[in-house]
Structures are given as structure tokens and as C-alpha cells.
Structure 1
Amino acid sequence: MLRHALPRALPVCLVFLLSACGQEQPVKVTVSPALVVQPQPSALAMQSYPGEVRARFDPQLAFRIGGKVTKRLVDEGERVKANQPLAELDPQDVRLQLDATRAQVTAGQANLNLVRAERDRYKTLLDRQMVSRSQFDNAENLYRAGEAKLQQLKAEQDVASNQASYAVLRAPQDGVIAQRQVEVGQVVAAGQTVFTLAADGEREVLISLPEQAFGRFKIGLPVEVELWSQPGQRFSGRIRELSPSADPKSRTFAARIAFTEGKVPAELGQSARVFIPSEGVSPLSVPLSALTAENGATYVWRVGQGNKLEQVPVRVGPFGENSVPVLEGLKANDWIVSAGVHVLHQGQEVRPIDRSNRTINVAVKE
């Protein structure tokens, strides 16, 4: 009896098995996250020039008279106050000259007293008609000449007194001694630079511009300044001053860059780099990790409609340390994948995220 039931049950089992195979569960598709970025202005769009932080005002200090330096009261890098003595000359010669002018003033005063008395005497005699008019006029002229001579001698005394004070060189304002170019015992001429003072107040950056590109720079051109002590942080500025002539040795033109922001933490002597926009269209740049290549062509993965990936061919410029300029193929508002590009494929759906693992709402604009 069992032998007759097996052939009948076998077809029924096969039917149940086939029906079970036709009811497979659908496979759930997992949307992988993708790190995305937008193209940034390329560093090649800016030309950079090294510079040094200087004071807005840095007068060169010098004695107004010549002489031998007997005292040097400050050194390079020392902070000074307004009217503080910096150096002194040998005062012996100017003091002797001052004494000589004082003696001349005394002699001039005595001569004036004499000619005044003589004039008064002749005037009395003239009133009595005991002398002629010409004799009185002669006495009057001698008096006027003596008065003028005394005024001249007093002026010379004032000059000698000023020169005696010029033997001491004083700071015109608060600041720091940037350079020292004198030693005790050295003989200096009038007007010869002794110190360079970096006055307190505004700070600027001094750079040198190349001769072949000097024509495109102009006063007021906006720039960016990055201090060596604060890498990655840029301060806005402008070209305040351009030298009209080139340096005879380097054949470069000096330019001074003024900060346009508020207080900038720039100290004297700091190294800085000035970034000046290049002429023409500024290219964009993307991270090196966003590039991939196939069959000799370079492309990136752009997030399109519905967060679907699009393979976009691009033309790139010279590779940098961390990025590469994109000359053609991308727009500034594109979102591109910047990591894991070698495992992606056309039309793949992704979940765009930024470096903080936050989901990005990519709005595609045509």
C-alpha cells in the first residue's frame, strides 16, 4: 500500500517546492555614504610674494651737525620714548662756538651803547645849532648800524645755541630702534644716518615685485596677507605705495602693503606672504583624492539629480601638494566625491556627507 502512495505524493511535493522558489524576498539596496566637496578657488589664481613686516613710519635719524660720537645710549631692538636721548657728539667745538657768539653779542651791545650816546650828544648840539646836520646824520647812521649788528650777533648766538643742542640726538616719537649704524668714536657728517626708528602704530608688509610684471600692479590693488606665525589665516590689505624705480642690484620694485582690517597681530620683522590676484579667469581646484583616470582620460564623480553619480571628464593643470586646478569641466556650485572614487560607478546612488559626517542636501542647478 505504501508502495502505491509514494508515486502519488511525489508530484505534490514538487509543486510545493516550485511555488516556494517563486516567492523569494526582494534584496534591499544599501545607499552608501560619500564624502563630497565643492571646488574651491585655485591657489594658482593668486601670485604670492614673500615680505617682511615693517612699521608704517620708519624715519632715518641723523645728527644735524657733524662731529665725533662720544656716547651711544641705545642699541638695536631697544624700545625708546619720544625725546629720549639716543647718542651724543663731542660738544667741545659747538660750546666754543657758542661762547664766541656770546662774547660777540656782549661787544655788540657795548658798541650800541656807545653809538647811542654819541647820537644823543649830537642831537643836543644840533638843537643848539652847534653842529651841522650832516654830522648828526652820520652819528644817527652809526647808531642804526650798531643796532643792526647787535641783532645779527644775537641771531648767530641763537644758531650756535641750537647747534649745541644738536649734539644730542633724540627720538622724535615712541618706537623701536630697527637699525643702528654708528659706534662710539666714529666721526659722522651732518645728515648721515645713525639710527632707523620703527615708530609705534600701523604695520605694513614690504615686498619686492618683479620687473616683468610691474606694469599690472597699481596703488590700491586689493591683496591678501598671510603671516608666517599664523599659517592658513589671511588678512585683507591693499598696495599703498609703489617704488617708481627698480633696485639697481635685484632689479625689483619695492611695494608697501597696508592692512585694511582692524588690529592685525603683526610684529616687526615677521615674515609674511602677500597674495595678489592673477589676471584672467580664476580656475577652480579639487582635492587630489577626487581624481581618477580611465583610458588616459581624467575625470571626477559629480553628484547629480536624485543623488546619482555622474562621471565628468575634466582638464586639469599642474598637480599641487594636496590639490589640483581644474581648468575645464566643473562649476563652482558642483558637488563632487572626494574619497573612494575608485569603487564608484555610473548612476550609483549615494548619501552625500561632509567632513563632519553631516548629510548634504545637494541641489543641482543647471
Structure 2
Amino acid sequence: MRASASITILALVAALTSCDRAKEHDGHDEHDEHGAPAHGHEHEHEARHDEVPRSVELSPEVIEQAGIRTAVVERQALAPTVRLSGEIAPNPNREASVAARVNGVIEMIQVRPGDAVKRDDVLATVRAPDLQSLRAAEAAMRAKAASARANAERLDALVARGMASKQEALAASAEADSLEAETRAARERLRALGVSRSNRRAVTFDVRAPLDGVIVERGVMTGAPVTAETVIATIVSTEDVWFLAHVFERDVARVEPGSAASVRLNAYPDESFAGVVEYVSHQVDPGARTLSARVPLRNPDGRLRLGLYGTAHVVAAGAPGEPALAVPTSAITRMQGKVVGFVQHDDEHFEVHELVLGVSDHQYTEIVHGLREGERVVTEGAFTIKSALLRGTFGEDHH
């Protein structure tokens, strides 16, 4: 449904801008009929060709389907913020180094760095001759436990008939209990390696993923010998990640756990990701002279890739600042390298305003220049307006 709606919106926008261009061509044709003036307008048009139109008119249908929403520009008491650079890092609590767990040889490796895996997916198959000795040890332990239990039951019967001491029976029962516990432990070791009663003759087992995530490192190749401690692969869950911000000494007193944070990444300059400072380290990095502030972020679509750089605007500890002209942060976007907002002048007309920004907290951003109090600025659906404006700029290239 979302894709269908987007196509419909863009089609309506295209129709709108096509009509506008048709009107422009009608005007040009009139000049052509009179001769020379047409060439003057042609050169004038070429000079303006790369300029983005300052305003656009959208039909009520486009506005409704695009979900365009607005908010009033007004004064807000913005909390002062601290700007901190940093990068996306994995959550080490959601990271696993998967070991072979037994001596053997890699028969097949199923993954490579960058592969997404689910819990219980097979990472590698190990041929392990030691499985035979583990099975033999478990079978011998099972037999000894059965014999010890039979002896304990025999002594219990003799005690009841007065033919054996109770102390002998208790000792036999304790020995049977101990051997049965060792048998269960041996059986669990085999089960952990993927060996069940139905495949006791197999000499291979599958190494499986313990969690959903992405393979960030592979430690072996097919045919490589391994020990129980050899790391087959390292998996990192990317469903939730950390933004690790660098806090300079001058800002330490202003950044506290619990402070709201808005993260913008260089890869996605038009978007912000909301979070809260969870932890501030207690030891200064001696080289960079910074502390580390941790901001957990949800990452269900996997776009927050490990290592991406960005900036966190953290609400500073202390009282809110002075009231300032501000808009919801969602009203701010970029177009052709400029920071802009779209002002709605009536129900159908929208105008581009280039903005100069001030401080920002989690929800609102100060407007130093570019908007007036009381104007209505677009907070949702700006993509459709931007598309209409850019089509007006580039559309004629395709004639």
C-alpha cells in the first residue's frame, strides 16, 4: 500500500509540474510568432534553469495523500544542548564469538563476513573423530551407573531381610547417584555438540548461530584443523546498537545519564534518531582527552551500520534556556546543500525558506533567521514538496 501511495503522489506531482511547464511553453510560443523576443527569453530561461523554484502549488489530493502536516512557528524554552561527535558501535551484550567446542577439521564453512544469520542457522560443519571417544565414554559411564544402581537396589533388598548393613546400602546408593549424575553430564556434552541418540554413529556436527545478527568476522576456512577453543565466527546483533559519543573535559559536567539525545549521522543528514544517554565512562582516554557517552539506539531495519560517524545533540544538565523562536526538528530538511523549511501560505501554496539554525534539543530547533513567528511550517510530507520543486528545475532536461 505504501509503495502504491508513493507512486500515486509522484504521479500527481508530475502532472502538476507538467501543467505548469505547458503554460510556460504557451507563453514562449506567443513570443516566437513575433520573432526576435523569443531568443531573449530563451537565454533568460537558460540562466534561470538551474535555480530551484521558490514556491509550488499542490492540489488538495496531493496534500492529503502525502500526509502533509504543519505546525506554527512560535517561541519555545529550549534546553541548552551539547554537540558531541561519535560513531555507531555494536552492543557487546549482543555479540557472540562462536567456538568449535571440539577438536577436528572444518568440513564445510557456510558463512562469510557480512552475511545475516538467524538463531540456529548452521555456520560450519566440523568432522570430529573425538566424538567417537566422547560417545564411548558416555556409554561406559551409562553402563557403570546402571550396574551401581542395580547393586544399590540389591543391597536395599538384603537390608530388608537383615542380610546387609544399612551403611553398605547407603554407600551403594550414593555411588549410583554420583555415576548417574556423571552420565547425565556426558550426555549433555554430546547433546550440546548436536549428537543425539538418533545420530550416535555420526562423526560430524553442525556449529550453529546462538543469536540473530551479522557475521563480522570469520576465523576459519574449509579444511582447517580446529581445537575446541577455535573461534569459527563472530556474530553481532544489529537490532540495537550504541552511539558512542566523545565528551571533552569542558563538557563533562553538562552530560549526564538520562539526558535526551538526538543523533544525526553523516550518512543520513536529513534524519535524526532519538535516544537517551545511558552511561558516561569514568576514565578519560589519555590520548584523545575525552570520556565516552553511550546512547543506545533501536535499529530494526539495519540502516545504522557499524562505524558510521555522526553527531549527538545532548540536552545539557541544568535549567532550560531562554525562550527562542523555534520549530519542530522534523520541519528542517536539506535541499541542494542548503538547510530549508517549507512555509504554507494558504491551503495549497508552499514556499521555500532558507534557514539559519541555532541550538536544538530533542524536539525543537531554534531558528535564528528564515522564519517569522506565527508562520506555518511543514513538519510531515516535506518529501513531496521537495519532489515538486526539483521536478520544476530538472524536468525539462528530459524533453
Closer/same/farther in 2, CA of residues 67 and 251 from structure 1, 3 Å limit? farther
Structure-1 separation of matches of 2:369 and 2:289:
45
SS of 1:206's equivalent in the other structure is: strand
SS of 1:231's equivalent in the other structure is: strand
Structure-2 separation of matches of 1:72 and 1:333:
56
Structure-2 separation of matches of 1:335 and 1:152:
76
Closer/same/farther in 2, CA of residues 164 and 194 from structure 1, 3 Å limit? closer
Are 2:106 and 1:77 equivalent residues in the alignment? no
> Which stretch has the larger CA shift, 163-172 or 222-231?
163-172
Closer/same/farther in 2, CA of residues 213 and 154 from structure 1, 3 Å limit? same
In the TM superposition, 1:70-149 aligns within 5 A as: 70=106, 71-114=108-151, 116-117=153-154, 120=157, 123-124=160-161, 126=162, 135-137=164-166, 140-141=169-170, 143-149=172-178
* Alignment-derived partner of residue 253 in structure 1: 291
Question: 2:82–2:251: 8 Å Cα contact kept in structure 1?
Answer: no
Structure-2 separation of matches of 1:251 and 1:183:
41
Question: 1:122–1:136: 8 Å Cα contact kept in structure 2?
Answer: yes
Closer/same/farther in 2, CA of residues 99 and 242 from structure 1, 3 Å limit? farther
Closer/same/farther in 2, CA of residues 170 and 254 from structure 1, 3 Å limit? farther
Structure-2 separation of matches of 1:334 and 1:118:
93
Closer/same/farther in 2, CA of residues 334 and 67 from structure 1, 3 Å limit? closer
> Which stretch has the larger CA shift, 219-228 or 53-62?
53-62
* Alignment-derived partner of residue 345 in structure 1: none
* Alignment-derived partner of residue 184 in structure 2: 155
> Which stretch has the larger CA shift, 101-110 or 149-158?
149-158
SS of 1:165's equivalent in the other structure is: coil
Deviation at 1:104, TM superposition (A): 2.2
Deviation at 1:78, TM superposition (A): 0.3
Closer/same/farther in 2, CA of residues 144 and 58 from structure 1, 3 Å limit? closer
In the TM superposition, 1:1-366 aligns within 5 A as: 46-52=82-88, 54=90, 58-63=94-99, 65=101, 67=103, 70=106, 71-114=108-151, 116-117=153-154, 120=157, 123-124=160-161, 126=162, 135-137=164-166, 140-141=169-170, 143-165=172-194, 168-183=206-221, 185=224, 187=226, 190=229, 195-199=233-237, 201-211=239-249, 213-246=251-284, 252-259=290-297, 266-269=303-306, 270-276=308-314
Q: For 2:116, give the aligned amino acid.
A: R
Question: 1:205–1:258: 8 Å Cα contact kept in structure 2?
Answer: yes
Closer/same/farther in 2, CA of residues 324 and 84 from structure 1, 3 Å limit? closer
Q: For 1:99, give the aligned amino acid.
A: A
* Alignment-derived partner of residue 297 in structure 1: none
> Which structure has more helix as a fraction of its residues?
2
Alignment identity in percent?
17
Closer/same/farther in 2, CA of residues 263 and 149 from structure 1, 3 Å limit? closer
Closer/same/farther in 2, CA of residues 324 and 151 from structure 1, 3 Å limit? closer
Question: 1:67–1:187: 8 Å Cα contact kept in structure 2?
Answer: yes
Question: 2:275–2:296: 8 Å Cα contact kept in structure 1?
Answer: yes
Calculate the TM-score normalised by the size of structure 2.
0.47
Question: 2:96–2:210: 8 Å Cα contact kept in structure 1?
Answer: no
Q: For 2:97, give the aligned amino acid.
A: L
Question: 2:244–2:293: 8 Å Cα contact kept in structure 1?
Answer: yes
SS of 1:151's equivalent in the other structure is: helix
Q: For 1:214, give the aligned amino acid.
A: V
Deviation at 1:106, TM superposition (A): 0.9
Q: Which runs of 5+ in 2 are unaligned?
A: 1-73, 196-204, 326-354, 359-365, 372-399
Structure-1 separation of matches of 2:247 and 2:159:
79
Question: 1:101–1:160: 8 Å Cα contact kept in structure 2?
Answer: no
State the Cα RMSD in Å: 5.0
Q: For 1:171, give the aligned amino acid.
A: A
Structure-2 separation of matches of 1:53 and 1:247:
17
